[in-house]
Amino acid sequence: MAYEKLTAEQARQGEVILEVRDLHIEFHDHDVPEVAVDDFDLTLHKHEIVGLVGESGSGKSMSALAIAGLLSRHAINSSGEILFAGKNLLKCDRACLRQLQGDEISMVFQEPMTSLNPLQRIGRQVEEPLRIHHKELSAQECYEHAIRNMTAVGLPEPEKVYQMYPHELSGGMRQRVMIAAATISRPQILIADEPTTALDVTIQAKIIDLLQKVNVKLGTSIIFISHDLSLVRQLCHHVIVMQKGRIVESGPCEDVFLNPRENYTRALIDAIPKVDL
Predicted local distance difference test score (pLDDT) of residue 275: 59
Predicted local distance difference test score (pLDDT) of residue 1: 52
Kindly report the length of the chain: 277
Can you tell me the distance from the alpha carbon of 98 to that of 110, in angstroms, rounded to the nearest whole number?
A: 21
- State yes or no: pLDDT of 2 exceeds 60: no
213-230, pLDDT tens digit by residue?
899 888 899 999 998 888
Q: Mean pLDDT throughout 145-153?
A: 93
Predicted local distance difference test score (pLDDT) of residue 263: 94
Predicted local distance difference test score (pLDDT) of residue 114: 83
- State yes or no: pLDDT of 276 exceeds 60: no
170-206, pLDDT tens digit by residue?
988 998 999 999 999 999 999 999 888 777 888 888 8
- State yes or no: pLDDT of 86 exceeds 80: yes
Q: Is the domain defined by 1-92+225-277 classed in CATH 3.40.50.300?
A: yes
pTM of the model: 0.92
Question: Which residue ranges make up each domain of the chain?
Answer: 1-92+225-277
Residues 61-85 as b/e (b if ≥16 CB within 10 A, e otherwise) read bbbbbbbbbebeeeebebebbbbbe
Q: What residues contact 187, with CB distance under 8 A and at least 6 apart? A: 102, 103, 104, 105, 106, 220
Q: For residue 117, count other CB atoms closer than 10 A to its CB.
A: 12
